[in-house]
């Protein structure tokens, strides 16, 4: 059987919020090393990859590998029934057609349990090659979310230009243009407020803002976000999840019609 207990249950609630608007259903691969998920969004433009390591849970047992087909909207609805302070336990038998979710509210001596039907999903795993990136930008996740939201008022795509001294986000549309430039910060006391740039060569790429705004739903999971970019390959937007894993979003750049 499979059983995973997470005292900080709010992490699981935030994970579902980060996924459910982008992908409707996905296969949760459960093994002794943890829980992972990989799925294209419904329009096959972006890819999401989630890892929750077993050692990040407060207790974890998996006797044999499981592939659980989950409707993420349904799971999100059930997790909304859990309080932010609740302990969450996930449980499934080896050949189960349902997943049990148990919420414990410590200060009230209250236990709620829900059972969610699993789906049969035919999922093809995509190999994600390890890449060296030309530019890797680490910045506060709230700042990235704000930039994506603000520039969405101007246009539907953002050009990200990365150089040694800083990174620039630019959008243009019928009403005009908008630019936000962040310089590399060297003397910030708090690491999670710093902007750091590792650059091998400058990069200038264009991405659809509506997808980046979907990705920023993961902002509550991490104070920082990492953007990894190289010409002609997908951008990786990575949010670390406490001490237990990460969620990574992959988005291919748009072709710049004007320069072609």
> Which two structure tokens, joined as six digits, stand for 222?
């991490």
> Around Cβ 246, how many Cβ atoms within 10 Å?
18
Convert the pLDDT of each residue in 54-94 to its tens digit: 999 999 999 999 999 999 999 999 999 999 999 999 999 98
What's the pTM? 0.94
- Return all residues near 146 (Cβ < 8 A) that are at least 6 apart: none
Query: What integer best gives the mean pLDDT of the chain?
Result: 93
Q: Are the C-beta atoms of 137 and 183 separated by less than 8 Å? A: no
More confident residue, 176 or 189: 176
Domain 135-251 sits in CATH 3.40.50.2300: no
Q: Is the pLDDT of residue 24 over 50?
A: yes
2-117: what CATH class? Answer: alpha beta
Q: How far apart are CA 235 and CA 205, in angstroms?
A: 9
- E runs forming strands in 118-218: 135-140, 157-162, 166-173, 176-183, 196-199, 203-208
Equal fold, 2-117 vs 135-251: yes
pLDDT of residue 187: 67
Q: State the pLDDT confidence band at 188, using cuts at 50, 70 and 90.
A: confident
Domain boundaries, the chain: 2-117, 135-251
Q: Is the pLDDT of residue 258 over 80?
A: no
Angle at Cα 148 formed by Cα 153 and Cα 13, nearest 5°?
A: 120
pLDDT of residue 257: 53
Is the Cα dihedral 80, 82, 87, 89 positive or negative? negative
Mean pLDDT of 195-220: 97
Q: Which residues pair with 8 in a beta bridge?
A: none
DSSP letters along 58-80, please?
SEEEESS-EEEEEEHHHHHHHHT
Q: Is the pLDDT of residue 237 over 60?
A: yes
More confident residue, 43 or 248: 248
Q: Are the C-beta atoms of 240 and 51 separated by less than 8 Å? A: no
212: closest CA among 227, 202, 200, 222?
227
> Which two structure tokens, joined as six digits, stand for 201?
């060569």
Q: Is the pLDDT of residue 200 over 50?
A: yes
């Amino acid at each position: 059987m499979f059983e995973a207990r997470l005292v900080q249950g709010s992490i699981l609630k935030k994970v579902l919020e980060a996924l459910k608007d982008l992908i409707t259903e996905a296969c949760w691969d459960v093994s002794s090393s943890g829980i992972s998920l990989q799925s294209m969004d419904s329009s096959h433009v972006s890819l999401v990859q989630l890892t929750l390591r077993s050692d990040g849970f407060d207790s974890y047992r998996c006797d044999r590998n499981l592939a659980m087909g989950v409707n993420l909207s349904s799971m999100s609805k059930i997790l909304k029934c859990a309080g932010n302070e609740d302990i969450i336990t996930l449980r499934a038998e080896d050949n189960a057609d349902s997943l049990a979710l148990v919420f414990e509210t410590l200060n009230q001596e209250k236990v709620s349990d829900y059972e969610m039907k699993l789906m049969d999903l035919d999922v093809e795993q995509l190999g994600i090659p390890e890449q060296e990136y030309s530019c890797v930008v680490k910045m506060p996740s709230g700042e990235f979310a704000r930039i994506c939201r603000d520039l969405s008022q101007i246009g539907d795509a953002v050009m990200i230009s990365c150089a040694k001294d800083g990174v620039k986000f630019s959008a243009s549309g019928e009403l005009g243009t908008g630019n936000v430039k962040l310089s590399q910060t060297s003397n910030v006391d708090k690491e999670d407020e710093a902007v750091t740039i590792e650059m091998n060569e400058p990069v200038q790429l264009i991405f659809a803002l509506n997808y980046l705004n979907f990705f920023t739903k993961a902002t509550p999971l991490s104070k920082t976000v990492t953007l990894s970019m190289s010409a002609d390959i997908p951008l990786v937007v990575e949010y670390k999840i406490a001490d237990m894993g990460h969620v990574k979003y992959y988005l291919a750049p748009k072709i710049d019609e004007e320069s072609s």
